[in-house]
A and B are shown apart, each in its own frame.
Chain A
Amino acid sequence: EAQLVESGGGVVQPGRSLRLSCAASGFRFDDYAMHWVRQAPGKGLEWVSGISWNSGNLGYADSVKGRFTISRDNAKNSLYLQMTSLSGEDTALYYCAKDRGGGGFYGMDVWGQGTTVTVSS
């Protein structure tokens, strides 16, 4: 069974950095694109970033472009999100999600339980 487990969330001061990780199991990780999606408390879903199977196709939400960096290590079956210059608007539950496709993006069919990021002084 495909499974995604996020880690790395926590409480961080404004302006600081944080790195999220997502460990994948139960499927061939290097065949699929991956995403980060976040959900602020009581709000809807916001796509944050996506990466193709070979890291050749990357995308970011306008709200995080230039501050967040997505990456993956196929040898370790892991996805990462490096977040810098954090602000209160980045406070959210961050989900890791697997795409149905590899090179393109066709819908997210497996989701982790999420890791919470709280930006507060």
Chain B
Amino acid sequence: EIVLTQSPGTLSLSPGERASLSCRASQSVVSSYLAWYQQKPGQTPRLLIYGTSARATGVPDRFSGSGSGTDFVLTISKLEPADSAVYYCQQSGNSPYTFGQGTKVEIK
């Protein structure tokens, strides 16, 4: 099983700042199979990024993904209050298709 470790656990930043969320895999993940999701309190998850760097429909270009192999990053370029959420990475290249434990982004 591929274990995805996300860091930091919690990120507390001010509006307008840049957030960098890390997702590290225990073994290499094919780039096509790495996705990021956003989950706001009381809401269902939302696909943000698929294939490591492609934005899903309707996702603002403030969100970007990068990485390869075992290290992947979700960047939110200019934080807005609405970005307050938990963000999860997930790999779907090797079953079981595991999620990371999540990074909570708090807006000060």
Contacts and interface: CB of A to CB of B under 8 A. Distances in A.
* Binding partners A and B: yes
Interface of A: 35, 37, 44-47, 50, 59-62, 95, 97, 99-100, 104-109, 111-114
A107 B1 CA distance: 18
A18 to B, nearest CB: 21
Contacts, number: 70
B47 A109 contact: yes
B90 A47 contact: yes
Interface in B1-33: 1, 32-33
Contact of B33 (A45, A60, A106): A106
A62 B57 CA distance: 32
Given A45-B88, A100-B50, A107 B56 contact: yes
Given A45-B102, A47-B98, A107-B35, A62 B92 contact: no
Nearest to B39: A45
B68 interface: no
Nearest to A61: B96
Contacts of B97: 35, 47, 50, 59, 105
A64 B97 CA distance: 13
Given A95-B45, A106-B50, A59 B39 contact: no
